Amino acid sequence: MKSNIPFIGARRSLSLGAAAIALLFAGGMVFTPDLARAESEVATAGTGWFTEAQVARGQKLYDARCSSCHGMEIADGWRLWDGSAQELVDFIKSMGMPADNPGGLPPQQYIDIVGYIMHHGGDFPFGDEVLVGTDAVNEAKRPE
């Protein structure tokens, strides 16, 4: 039975449309658990923070982007750093590095470079998980 009041039918159509849009957005969240799981599967200090491949990428990036100012060998000054890997990433960016593109590298490249720097002295064993995302990088610190 059709309503004689025109706006009731329009209201019902709008409600159905809103429900359909909500389902589309909810469906997108349902189908993206791998990203959430990848960010939550953070390595611990006992298993290492950075994979061997990640440290190798960091070394290549360091050689290409950092060594022109800092030299090919990393100095031991970084050993004085007692903050998290993310704090080191933030420090590097705040100091305008690299000089030819201050703060302009993609976030993962900074993380890979920091992985190389922190692993270089042997304090950080290789891990099984690639370190990604701000939360994970905030947890990565020198073993005490």
Task: Report which of residues 106 and 125 the model is more confident about.
Answer: 106
Which tens digit of pLDDT belongs to each residue from 54-77? 999 999 999 999 999 988 877 666
Give a three-class secondary structure readout of the chain.
CCCCCHHHHHHHHHHHHHHHHHHHHHHHHHCCHHHHHHHHCCCCCCCCCECHHHHHHHHHHHHHHCHHHHCCCCCHHHHHCCCCHHHHHHHHHHCCCCCCCCCCCCHHHHHHHHHHHHHHCCCCCECCCCCCCHHHHHHCCCCC
Q: Quote the pLDDT of residue 47.
A: 57
Q: Quote the pLDDT of residue 118.
A: 83
Q: Is the CATH code 3.30.1490 the one for domain 43-139?
A: no
Which tens digit of pLDDT belongs to each residue from 5-47? 454 444 444 444 444 433 333 333 333 333 333 333 444 444 5
